[in-house]
C-alpha cells in the first residue's frame, strides 16, 4: 500500500483547486437509476469511492461513459459522467460491494421505486460508531415498500409502486434523507419529509431531481415536499464544490501559516467551520472565484465546538480541527455529537506528541509542540505532519484516496514538502 511522506514546517502559498463534492457526486450518480434517459454529471471528482460506485451501478445495468479523462493540460477539472439506466439488468447490490462503501446502500430506494423490487446488502463503510439504517427502512416502509431482512440483505418489494407519505425523521440523517428523497421522486402523489438533513449535498440532489422532472419545495430547509412522477427525464447537472475538501485545506493553511486561494470554493457552504477558523486567528474571505485563507504569526487561539448537522460544525472536519488545535496556545474542547467512536485519530495524534484527553464524546486538547513518527492514515495526520518539525510518514493512505483527490499534488503546488511513496 502507498505511503505519504511529509517534511513539515513549511508555509502553504498559492492556489488549490477545489474538486466536486464526493458526498454529492455519489447520490447524484445513484439518481441515474430513476430514469431511462441520460443523466449527465459535470465536475465529478476522481476518487476511489466514485469509481467503486461506478462499478456497482454498472452491475445494475447503468451505462456509464466518461468525458474529459484528465490526462490533458488541466488534470484538476472534474470529469463528466454520462449515466444511462435504460434497462436495469440486476436489482441486487451484493455484499462484496456495499460493504466497502456505505453510500451504495442508497440504491435501495431508487431501485424499489423504479423496479418494484431490490435486494441490497446491509452496508459497511467507515468504522465510526454503529451507523444503523433503521431510518432508511422506516422511510421506505412509509412509502409502501415491504421490507424483510434476510442473511444480511434487505429484500424490498413494491409490486404496485411506491406512494407518497408523511415521514418525520426522529433525528437528522443525510443518508436516510437521500434514500427517501430519491424514492419519493418516483412515488405516486406527495411525500412530506420533516427533519430532513439540510446538508448542501441534499439540496444539490434535490435540485438535480427538479431538473429531471420532480417537483420539490423546501430545498435547503428541513421540510421537503416532493410531488412524485411516474417517470423522470434526463438532465445535465454540475456537482457543487466539496466543502469538506475546502475546510481541510483551509485548516491546513491555518496550521502551517501562509496564503492560499481555494479556487471554486464557496464560503456559504461552510460558514460555521470557517468562522471557527477565523476565531483561531486565520483570515478567511470570499473572493472572486473562491475562498482565500491567510494566517501570519504563530499564535493560534483555542476553541470550543460541538459537531452538529448542517449548518453546524461538520463532523467530517472534526479531526482536522483537532489536529490544528494541538498547536493552539491553550485548551480546546471538541465534542462529537454525530458519531460515537469518531476519535480514532486521537491515538495517532498522541503519537505525534499531542496532549488529548477523551471523556465520552468530548476531547480536551492541550496545545503543545508536536514531533514526527510513523502514522496510520487520516487527513488530520497530514495536517499534523505539515505542522510538525521534521519528517512524518503516513501509512495506509487508501482512506485518503477515498475522499481526497490528488491531495499531495494540490499541497505540493503550494510549497508543502509532501510526496507519495508507491508500494513497489
Site for ligand UD1 (CB under 6 A): which residue of 69, 171, 215, 279?
171
| Of 207, 91, 94, 90, nearest in space to 157 by CA | 91
Site for ligand UD1 (CB under 6 A): which residue of 316, 348, 405, 408?
316
Site for ligand UD1 (CB under 6 A): which residue of 3, 131, 141, 420?
131
What part of residues 276-315 is at the interface with ligand UD1 (CB under 6 A)? 315
CA distance 120 to 108: 6
Size of the site for ligand UD1 (CB under 6 A): 21
Contact between 407 and ligand UD1 (CB under 6 A)? Answer: no
Phi/psi for 205 (5° steps) reads -65, -45
**Residues 384 and 418: beta-carbon distance below 8 Å:** no
The secondary structure element, H or E, covering residue 393 is: strand 391-395
Contact between 136 and ligand UD1 (CB under 6 A)? Answer: yes
Task: Show the cell assigned to 241.
Answer: 464544490
Site for ligand UD1 (CB under 6 A): which residue of 19, 23, 46, 392?
23
Q: What's the order of all strands across the beta sheet hosting 331-335?
A: 304-306, 331-335, 362-366, 355-359
Site for ligand UD1 (CB under 6 A): which residue of 18, 26, 85, 387?
26
Instruction: Give the orientation angle of helix 174-184 with respect to helix 200-211, to 10 degrees.
Output: 10
Q: How far is the CB of 416 from ligand UD1 (least distance, A)?
A: 25
Q: Which of 126, 138, 304, 368 is catalytic?
A: 126
**Residues 129 and 341: beta-carbon distance below 8 Å:** yes
Name which of 158 and 319 has its Cβ closer to ligand UD1: 319
Name which of 32 and 256 has its Cβ closer to ligand UD1: 32
Site for ligand UD1 (CB under 6 A): which residue of 107, 162, 176, 265?
176
Site for ligand UD1 (CB under 6 A): which residue of 67, 87, 129, 168?
129
Using the contact rule CB under 6 A, the part of the chain among 130-138, 185-193, 322-330, 372-380 near ligand UD1 is: 130-138
Name which of 27 and 161 has its Cβ closer to ligand UD1: 27
For this structure, is 208 an active site residue? no
Contact between 133 and ligand UD1 (CB under 6 A)? Answer: yes
Name which of 121 and 315 has its Cβ closer to ligand UD1: 315
Using the contact rule CB under 6 A, the part of the chain among 67-75, 168-176, 235-243, 245-253 near ligand UD1 is: 168-176
Contact between 132 and ligand UD1 (CB under 6 A)? Answer: yes
Q: How far is the CB of 195 from ligand UD1 (least distance, A)?
A: 11
| Of 325, 309, 330, 311, nearest in space to 387 by CA | 325
**Residues 10 and 415: beta-carbon distance below 8 Å:** yes
CA distance 94 to 369: 47
**Site pattern 196..225 for ligand UD1 (x: CB under 6 A):** -----x------------------------
Q: What's the order of all strands across the beta sheet hosting 12-17?
A: 12-17, 258-263, 290-295, 283-287
Q: How far is the CB of 236 from ligand UD1 (least distance, A)?
A: 22
Residue nearest to ligand UD1 (CB): 175
CA distance 307 to 338: 7
If 0-12 CB within 10 Å is exposed, 13-18 middle and 19+ buried, where does residue 321 land? buried
Contact between 174 and ligand UD1 (CB under 6 A)? Answer: yes
Site for ligand UD1 (CB under 6 A): which residue of 117, 339, 373, 413?
339
The secondary structure element, H or E, covering residue 305 is: strand 304-306
Using the contact rule CB under 6 A, the part of the chain among 124-132, 216-224, 232-240, 365-373 near ligand UD1 is: 124-132
Maximum separation of any 2 CA atoms in the chain, in Å: 65
**Residues 107 and 91: beta-carbon distance below 8 Å:** no
Q: How far is the CB of 204 from ligand UD1 (least distance, A)?
A: 11
Contact between 29 and ligand UD1 (CB under 6 A)? Answer: no
- ∠ at Cα 275 (270, 277), nearest 5°? 100
Name which of 58 and 131 has its Cβ closer to ligand UD1: 131
Q: How far is the CB of 175 from ligand UD1 (least distance, A)?
A: 3
**Residues 105 and 179: beta-carbon distance below 8 Å:** yes
Say which residues have a Cβ less than 8 Å from residue 52's Cβ, sequence separation at least 6: 97, 100, 101, 104
Question: Which residues lie near ligand UD1 (CB under 6 A)?
Answer: 23, 26, 102-103, 129, 131-136, 171, 173-176, 201, 315-316, 338-339
Please give the positions annotated as active site.
126
Amino acid at each position: 500500500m502507498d505511503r505519504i511522506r511529509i517534511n513539515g514546517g513549511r508555509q502553504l502559498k498559492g492556489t488549490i483547486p477545489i474538486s466536486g463534492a464526493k458526498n454529492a457526486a455519489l447520490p447524484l450518480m445513484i439518481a441515474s437509476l430513476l430514469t431511462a434517459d441520460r443523466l449527465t454529471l459535470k465536475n465529478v471528482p476522481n476518487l476511489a469511492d466514485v469509481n467503486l460506485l461506478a462499478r456497482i451501478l454498472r452491475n445494475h445495468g447503468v451505462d456509464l461513459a466518461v468525458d474529459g479523462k484528465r490526462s490533458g493540460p488541466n488534470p484538476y477539472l472534474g470529469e463528466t459522467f454520462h449515466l444511462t439506466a435504460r434497462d436495469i439488468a440486476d436489482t441486487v447490490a451484493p455484499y462484496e460491494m456495499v460493504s466497502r462503501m456505505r453510500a451504495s446502500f442508497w440504491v435501495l430506494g431508487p431501485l424499489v421505486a423504479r423496479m418494484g423490487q431490490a435486494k441490497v446488502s446491509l452496508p459497511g463503510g467507515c468504522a465510526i460508531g454503529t451507523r444503523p439504517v433503521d431510518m432508511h427502512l422506516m422511510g421506505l416502509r412509509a412509502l409502501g415498500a415491504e421490507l424483510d431482512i434476510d442473511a444480511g440483505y434487505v429484500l424490498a418489494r413494491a409490486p404496485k409502486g411506491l406512494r407518497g407519505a408523511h415521514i418525520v425523521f426522529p433525528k437528522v440523517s443525510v443518508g436516510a434523507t437521500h434514500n427517501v428523497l430519491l424514492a419519493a421522486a418516483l412515488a405516486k402523489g406527495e411525500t412530506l419529509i420533516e427533519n430532513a438533513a439540510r446538508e448542501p449535498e441534499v439540496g444539490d440532489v434535490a435540485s438535480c431531481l427538479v431538473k429531471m422532472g420532480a417537483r420539490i419545495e423546501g430545498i435547503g430547509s428541513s421540510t421537503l415536499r416532493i410531488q412524485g412522477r411516474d417517470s423522470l427525464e434526463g438532465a445535465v447537472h454540475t456537482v457543487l464544490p466539496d466543502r469538506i475538501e475546502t475546510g481541510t485545506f483551509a485548516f491546513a493553511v491555518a496550521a502551517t501559516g501562509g496564503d492560499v486561494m481555494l479556487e471554486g470554493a464557496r464560503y456559504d457552504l461552510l460558514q460555521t467551520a470557517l468562522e471557527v477558523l477565523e476565531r483561531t486567528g486565520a483570515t478567511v474571505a470570499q473572493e472572486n472565484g473562491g475562498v482565500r485563507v491567510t494566517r501570519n504569526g504563530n499564535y493560534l487561539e483555542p476553541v470550543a465546538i460541538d459537531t452538529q448537522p448542517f449548518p453546524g460544525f461538520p463532523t467530517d472536519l472534526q479531526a482536522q480541527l483537532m489536529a490544528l488545535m494541538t498547536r493552539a496556545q491553550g485548551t480546546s474542547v471538541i465534542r462529537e455529537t454525530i458519531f460515537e467512536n469518531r476519535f480514532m485519530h486521537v491515538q495517532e495524534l498522541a503519537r505525534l506528541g499531542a496532549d488529548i484527553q477523551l471523556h465520552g464524546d468530548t476531547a480536551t486538547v492541550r496545545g503543545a509542540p508536536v514531533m514526527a513518527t510513523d502514522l496510520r492514515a487520516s487527513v488530520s495526520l497530514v495536517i499534523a505532519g505539515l505542522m510538525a518539525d521534521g519528517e512524518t510518514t503516513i501509512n495506509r493512505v487508501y482512506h485518503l484516496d477515498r475522499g481526497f483527490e490528488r491531495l499531495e499534488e494540490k499541497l505540493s503546488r503550494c510549497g508543502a514538502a509532501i510526496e507519495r511513496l508507491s508500494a513497489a
